[in-house]
Structure 1
């Protein structure tokens, strides 16, 4: 019985071994197939990735740019009112803050008084006796009378009926009368010169013109106490405006970021510029807004690399030179309307399609 069981067990083991032989023989073929498929898949994936990069260049060294205007007061003084806060949107011409206007109102009153004084002086000069010619007429009458007296004394002197002293006194009176005429004529010319009008302001008296210019300057300073937005935009750094703060003339105290005309400045490698042209379509993805993709186009390509326009450009004076791929700023205009607020300085991934078809 034991021998029969052993024989049956041996036959079963032999049958299992015969069935296992084909299985072991198939395993090397599976490994070969796997080793062939994996490299082919990698090659296909690499080719697909390389193909996807053709016809476009991409950089993540790109940032959103918005034009900024530094707001300053053109007059000095104390801030008395502030009408905006940080982040607020304003329209062109909207009042931002006001400087104390009282000193400039007083200055305007002084210039008005100076203008009135100049007008009064002009009236007085126009009515001066020297300008009217009265003194000249009187001097001519004196000359006529002195000459008649001299002629009478000369006739008497020739007949011997007068003294030499009387004759010479009559002659001297004629000379004095003539001199008075010359003085009166000179005074008349001087009076005319005082009311003369120069070529620069032919229609106005110079004194009145100067007084009016001073009044206009005072009016301008008074208007400048109200600082208004030169363009539409968003207010930044408004926390620096405090009521009671003393402002200096032309010192920036506020920044206005324009909300229109936003653009992207993308710094592409110089090796990416071979096929890039102005007008080519572009695509922008924002790190801050992953779901927002905006379309645009290349507006301009920089005239120099970033290092060339830096404050301290790189110099190779030692001979230890290492070639570094330079970056060229490319300006990309935004064509789409953004669905989220654009903030200056946002990081962007910019792609320029160098072929007509995307």
Structure 2
């Protein structure tokens, strides 16, 4: 055997022992590196909601039909800017307009009748007052004549009483006494006539006054009834006007038409039908719904979030960054509402628009892989029937 062949065998033996040692050192270093990453690396934990969207910070206004009707004209176009009070849609209201015109014509007839009654009542009250004054004057004159006749009768009685003894003693002639007695009877008859005249005047005054008051009361009743009819007619007109206004759909606020129902002239709508959605101007925010177990106690204001929008591939467009601003403390319909403020990003190619849906990821923790695995194992052991999924981001 030559010396060269001996050296070659020795070299092969040394290399055979050296290669396993190098492999063992490489494996040990790899395990140490992985253990170091497992213990000291940091991994971001996210809570994810598939039900997220962009919304304006002002509430949107649903536009609904207030009455049943048939569409005459529609100015509802998606994306159209409208002003508050602008007419968006008109429904057929011919029947209501005819009722309103009929009631207005009735009111126009009642108003002159009321004015006539008022004039007649004022004239009757004036006539009643004048009649009262005239009756009082005539009655006063009758009473004055009655007092005058009473005085004359008293004088005649005294005269007869004075002459009666003289006539008895024949100091005066019988003819003179009879004349005095006849004068007394005449004055008595005149007094009776005056009293009867006064009673008649008083009775006529009371009768005319009663008739006048009855006439005034009748006119007042008719006036009150007419005023009631006019009040009812005005209320009816106001009601018909209000009902007529319901056939005109106006914009409840300024903003942009974000959603529109399929409406054509002649389409029938029912009361309560959603015709459109009006999006008022405002600042956009991210709104998402989370299960209570994912949100309560884990999501807090100030945490970082990112929104990946559907229709805009994440690899091409990236994501919108946001910050959690507030969240509900009570669940509604089994979900907790979380709101986030968008961070300004001038380099983003994503158009920010109300209603865009997407997926929201909220960074809730920053853990090492070892802590994360231990926590997940503890949760699975504590509740094996309802394991809680976790979304893990890249290591920091």
Find the aligned partners of 2:292 and 2:32 in 1 and give their Cα distance. 32
CA RMSD of aligned residues (A): 4.4
TM-score (norm 2): 0.62
Q: Deviations over 1:197-233 (max 9, x none)?
A: xxxxxxxx88767655554554454444332332323
- The yes-or-no answer on 1:79 pairing with 2:71 is yes
Paired positions, count: 316
Task: Give unpaired runs (5+ residues) of structure 1.
Answer: 1-6, 197-204, 314-326
CA contact (8 A) 2:72 2:265 kept: yes
CA contact (8 A) 2:284 2:354 kept: no
The worse-fitting range, judged by mean Cα deviation, of 15-24 and 174-183 is 174-183
* Structure label with greater radius of gyration: 2
Pick the aligned partner of 1:293 from 301, 310, 319. 319
Find the aligned partners of 1:341 and 1:347 in 2 and give their Cα distance. 12
> 1:33-182 to 2 correspondence within 5 Å?
33-46=25-38, 51-53=42-44, 58-64=47-53, 66=55, 67-85=59-77, 87-93=78-84, 94-130=86-122, 132-145=125-138, 148=141, 155=149, 159-161=187-189, 171=199, 173-181=201-209
TM-score (norm 1): 0.67
- The yes-or-no answer on 1:265 pairing with 2:287 is yes
The structure with the largest helix share of the pair is: 2
Pick the aligned partner of 2:359 from 342, 348, 353. 348
- The yes-or-no answer on 1:254 pairing with 2:275 is yes
Which structure carries more relative contact order (alpha carbon 8 Å, separation 6+)?
A: 2
Task: Give unpaired runs (5+ residues) of structure 2.
Answer: 154-184, 367-395
Find the aligned partners of 2:211 and 2:365 in 1 and give their Cα distance. 91
Distance 1:333 1:252, change over 3 A: farther
CA contact (8 A) 2:310 2:356 kept: no
Find the aligned partners of 1:12 and 1:82 in 2 and give their Cα distance. 104
CA contact (8 A) 2:261 2:276 kept: yes
C-alpha displacement at 1:25, in angstroms?
Answer: 0.8
CA contact (8 A) 1:136 1:181 kept: no
CA contact (8 A) 1:77 1:247 kept: yes
CA contact (8 A) 1:235 1:254 kept: no
C-alpha displacement at 1:256, in angstroms?
Answer: 0.6
Q: Secondary structure at the match of 2:205?
A: helix
Find the aligned partners of 1:99 and 1:60 in 2 and give their Cα distance. 42
CA contact (8 A) 2:298 2:364 kept: no
Find the aligned partners of 2:25 and 2:221 in 1 and give their Cα distance. 114
C-alpha displacement at 1:302, in angstroms?
Answer: 0.7
C-alpha displacement at 1:138, in angstroms?
Answer: 1.7
Find the aligned partners of 2:204 and 2:318 in 1 and give their Cα distance. 102
Q: Secondary structure at the match of 2:189?
A: coil
